[in-house]
Structure 1
Amino acid sequence: MRPGSSFSHKPPAEKEKQRRDRMKDLYSTLATLLHLEPYDSKSLPEFLDRATSSLIHLKEGVERLKVRKEELEKEVSHNSKPSNSEPRLKVVQVTELVDQKLEVNMIFMVSNKKVVPFEVLRVIEQGGAEIMSSSFSTVGPHIYCTIHAQAFQARLGFDAKLIESQLMELIY
């Protein structure tokens, strides 16, 4: 060995053990990321087949979501109407979910001064629903709003059509 060189020689068996341990860690990481059973419980080819089919399923899901996004963008652009050189985007969707729950999705223009978050929440509460969570996000000239609510009293419920019509009045 030359002076000044730091060369460590590992036996081939130790290098192979390190390689196998690294591959084992990578397979475990893959199983975690894809929410699969740990690969130790199955044979490696079976595990890799499951991982492959899971990735294919995820890729198909991404493609479906891209198509849905394009459909929604077309719908949003169709609902936009130029008025005074500014589009007037208005979208309200009220969906009744199971167990007396309600989801409200809205898109409206920032310039629409009639729509204030507490007014939107007030309309929903007056319709008989208790707000569980709400999210208001401003992106460019649009405000995106998602609200989850449930009925004040399960026996009485809420009136989704009334809530939707009042929100439409508020926005329009």
Structure 2
Amino acid sequence: MKSSKNGGGGGFAKVERKTVEKNRRIHMKSLCLKLSSLIPKDHYTSSKDALTQQDFLEEAASYIKKLKERIEKLKQKRELGASIRGISNDISSGMMIGTKLPMIEVRHQETNLEVVLISSTDKRFMFHEVIAVLEEEGAEVVSASFSVVGDKIFHTIHSQALSSRIGLEASRVSERLKELVR
């Protein structure tokens, strides 16, 4: 019987493990370099002259997170555009005839709230009151815009919860806003 402590091929296995580990490290370094080459130079937040592999990976993770956030914002913008186009098409095709204005719609997604208000040019409402209701309910207005189509005014307000733990109660916001436009 051969003892695994006294040679008998044990040295060869040790050298082979070292070679495999060395090749793995070389491969990982190569992959990190490829990844770092995909990140725009203006994204790097570190002021170090020489970045470590860990620094490259952190920068890549940060960049990917920013891209995901940007994609989400663009999706929301696209959905908003589609819904406004749909409402505009409904108006132009006469589907909103008989609809009592002003009209309000509240859409809720996680900690975000989108408020779409439609009013006529002859019957307006106090925009600052709508903003006040949102703020009282724990929302921070991120953006607001309006467009005029014929004699209709479309207001779109994007807001988010001041505290992600507390969130927003969309039904309560909706009820309070409906009281305003009555």
TM-score (norm 2): 0.46
Structure possessing the higher radius of gyration over alpha carbons: 2
Higher strand share: 1
